[in-house]
Amino acid sequence: MKKILVARAVFPDVIDRLGRYFDVESNQADHIFTSAELGAKLADKDGAFVAGERIDASILAAAPRLRVVSNMAVGYNNFDIDAFNRAGVLGTNTPDVLNETTADMGWALMMAAARRMSESERWLRTGAWDRWAYDMLTGVDIHGSTLGVIGMGRIGQAVARRAKGFGMRVVYHNRSRVAPEIERELNAEYLDKTALLKTADHIVLVLPYTAQSHHTIGAAELALMKPTATLTNIARGGIIDDAALVVALRERRIAAAGLDVFEGEPKLNPGFLELPSVVLTPHIGSATEGTRRAMANLAADNLIAALGEGPQAGQPPSPINPDVMARWVSA
């Protein structure tokens, strides 16, 4: 029987399902393994189920039997895919099943930032509310404004689609323009990054984290935004230069921000904690019971199929670097 590691705690029924096919070492205590511990755990494993753990050349070198690492996440910036290719290891991820849930979260953060929801609630809980006032906690409108989406993949499109009900103009920036029929369906207009930053009232970041997208938003970009604009990040830490954003918010160069992801998370820039104009959540973009179950099951499907078991044997549903599989067959 092939051996696998489930590196993080996950739904018990998913562990049971994996146990029908494999000898499973699980981690339901949810110990966070160091890189060296993970390498040692993987030394005799054929497959691994991870949820954002960094898998790089040194870990792969410690795991000579390893064939597949299944990420319970759509983003896979935790994988060194070049190292996977060199080692002949397949990486898989969980696209699509979280699109709508994550888009909902983008809207929740954008609206909470624009309408000062967290700040209002914190203040109300102090007991200081004693009257209505014409200028109390006024924010900025969502309806009728311009939504700017940076990163028009499947989640970006789901964010943009929701703008229709709010009568918004939609502008977007992406590495390449999306198909004309998608632009038409979303009523979305392509702009270069500078034009988008100057035009949009509410910017939502939905792009993958790569060396190229590192600090897509820094001091220069924040300086181009409207002073009334909001910025929401549901993608990855590192896409925003968090130190620059703290300064921009402190100096009120933009109105507000909604952040679900941070540079160096789970730590975050302490400057954010002092700022009333930022809504902060702990990387919960995909966190509904149904969506997390769908992600866990898709990650399990990938692992089972990639290791040649189950109804989709040999055909994992969402491989990242499928070319390596041909090398297994010919090996």
**Residues annotated catalytic, as ranges:** 236, 265, 283
Q: Is 109 a binder of ligand DGY (CB under 6 A)?
A: no
Round to whole Å and give the CA distance between 47 and 42.
Answer: 8
Residues β-bridged to residue 232: 204, 258
List 98, 155, 170, 304, residue binding ligand DGY (CB under 6 A)? 98
**Widest pairwise Cα distance in the chain:** 75
Residue numbers 234-293 binding ligand DGY by CB under 6 A = 285-286
Residue 66 vs 74, nearer CB to ligand DGY: 74
Residue 118 vs 286, nearer CB to ligand DGY: 286
Tokens standing for 51? 């949820």
Q: Is 47 a binder of ligand DGY (CB under 6 A)?
A: no
Round to whole Å and give the CA distance between 165 and 87.
Answer: 48
- On whether the CB atoms of residues 25 and 66 are closer than 8 A, the answer is no
**Helix, coil or strand: residue 95:** coil
Residue 230 vs 286, nearer CB to ligand DGY: 286
Minimal distance, residue 58 CB to ligand DGY, in Å: 23
List 75, 91, 238, 316, residue binding ligand DGY (CB under 6 A)? 75
- On whether the CB atoms of residues 64 and 88 are closer than 8 A, the answer is no
Residue 71 vs 145, nearer CB to ligand DGY: 71
List 59, 74, 112, 147, residue binding ligand DGY (CB under 6 A)? 74
3-state secondary structure 249-304: HHCCCCCEEEECCCCCCCCCCHHHHHCCCEEECCCCCCCCHHHHHHHHHHHHHHHH
Q: Count of residues binding ligand DGY (CB under 6 A)?
A: 6
**Helix, coil or strand: residue 125:** helix
Minimal distance, residue 84 CB to ligand DGY, in Å: 17
Q: Is 73 a binder of ligand DGY (CB under 6 A)?
A: yes
Residue 73 vs 171, nearer CB to ligand DGY: 73
Which parts of this chain interact with ligand DGY (CB under 6 A)?
Answer: 73-75, 98, 285-286
